[in-house]
């Protein structure tokens, strides 16, 4: 079945460590890709998105993601995490009518 | 500009009762999406509406669930005869008319439904 997969369900890092969260999708053709973040007690916010052009996308708060078409991947990265990055992260693919298909989410815990 | 608003934030219903969840999109947004997040799972698409029209309801359960977005007023997600398995967080998102690369869905804070 077509889907979005996030490999890491729970990640624990120390501050200043580097972060990479995996996201793979199984849809063919043109894809629009997103990473959303949900901080504790808050609603989902957009971190970054890819529609076309440069496959390396820069988002807010120092996050970036790389679209690799041949690998059907859109991994999220941050060189040095902070305690305030503790949150749940969702990868999503936009489908034909505009609906978003989400991965199951990755909980990131950053230890001070 | 107020964000997407949802109410109530928390809703408790007994089995067999009806649940009504409301969503007011951002000003100027005419597209509304509903998603459900079950415990330990990601968000699942339910339905996509524009004013007075259901565009895509491919994620809606076939029975007991309905949604509307009237010409005036908020979008309503209605669940009849709730069961324990309906306990979840229900999120609404809105977007402006599609404008290509600027497309983004803005999410509300969600309604946490608990069925006892």
Where residue B104 falls among pLDDT bands split at 50, 70, 90?
confident
For chains A and B, count residue pairs whose Cβ atoms are closer than 8 Å: 63
pLDDT of the residue at B101:
46
Task: Give which of B59, B104, B107, B108 to mutate to test A binding, by max A Cβ within 10 Å.
Answer: B107
Chain A nearest C-alpha distance from B27 (Å): 18
Q: Which residues of B touch A6 (CB under 8 A)?
A: 42
Listed in order, strand segments (DSSP E) in A18-105 are 19-21, 24-25, 32-38, 45-50, 56-58, 64-68, 73-78, 87-94, 100-102
The answer to whether the Cβ–Cβ distance between A99 and B33 falls below 8 Å is yes
- The predicted model gives B40-60 an average pLDDT of 92
Task: Give which of A1, A100, A101 to mutate to test B binding, by max B Cβ within 10 Å.
Answer: A100
Interface residue A8 vs chain B (CB under 8 A)? no
Cα dist. B24→A9, B35, B103 in Å? 32, 15, 19
Q: Are B93 and B26 in contact (CB under 8 A)?
A: no
- The predicted model gives A3-28 an average pLDDT of 94
- The predicted model gives A87-93 an average pLDDT of 96
Measured over all CA atoms, what is the biggest interatomic distance in chain B, rounded to whole angstroms? 44
Is residue B86 scored above 80 in pLDDT? yes
Where residue A98 falls among pLDDT bands split at 50, 70, 90?
confident
- The predicted model gives A24-49 an average pLDDT of 91
pLDDT of the residue at A8:
87
Chain A nearest C-alpha distance from B60 (Å): 13
Q: Which residues of A touch B5 (CB under 8 A)?
A: none
Q: What percent of chain B has pLDDT over 90?
A: 78
Cα dist. A73→A6, A22, A32, B38, B80 in Å? 10, 7, 12, 25, 40
Where residue A52 falls among pLDDT bands split at 50, 70, 90?
confident
Q: Are B52 and B70 in contact (CB under 8 A)?
A: yes
pLDDT of the residue at B102:
53
pLDDT of the residue at A68:
95
- The predicted model gives B94-104 an average pLDDT of 70
More confident residue, A90 or A43: A90
The answer to whether the Cβ–Cβ distance between A99 and B104 falls below 8 Å is no
Measured over all CA atoms, what is the biggest interatomic distance in chain A, rounded to whole angstroms? 42
Q: Which residues of A touch B45 (CB under 8 A)?
A: 99-102
The answer to whether the Cβ–Cβ distance between A98 and B100 falls below 8 Å is no
Q: Are B13 and B68 in contact (CB under 8 A)?
A: no
Is residue A87 scored above 60 in pLDDT? yes
């Amino acid at each position: 079945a077509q889907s979005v997969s996030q490999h890491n369900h729970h990640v624990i890092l120390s501050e200043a460590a580097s972060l990479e969260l995996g996201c793979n999708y199984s849809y063919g053709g043109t894809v629009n890709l997103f990473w959303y973040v949900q901080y504790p007690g808050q609603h989902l916010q957009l971190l970054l998105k890819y529609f076309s052009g440069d496959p390396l996308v820069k988002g807010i708060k120092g996050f970036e993601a790389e679209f690799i078409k041949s690998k059907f991947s859109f991994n999220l990265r941050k060189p040095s995490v902070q305690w305030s990055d503790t949150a749940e992260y969702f990868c999503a693919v936009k489908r034909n009518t505009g609906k978003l298909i989400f991965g199951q989410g990755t909980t990131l815990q950053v230890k001070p | 500009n107020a964000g997407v608003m949802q109410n109530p934030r928390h809703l408790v219903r007994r089995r067999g009762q009806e649940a009504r969840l409301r969503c007011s999109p951002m000003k100027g947004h005419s597209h509304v999406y509903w998603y459900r997040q079950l415990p330990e799972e990601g968000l699942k698409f339910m339905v996509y509406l524009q004013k007075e029209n259901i565009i895509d309801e491919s994620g809606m359960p076939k029975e007991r669930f309905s949604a509307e977005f009237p010409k005036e007023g908020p979008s309503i997600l209605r669940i009849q005869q709730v069961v324990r398995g309906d306990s979840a967080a229900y999120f609404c998102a809105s977007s402006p008319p599609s404008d290509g690369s600027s497309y983004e869905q803005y999410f509300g804070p969600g309604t946490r439904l608990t069925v006892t």
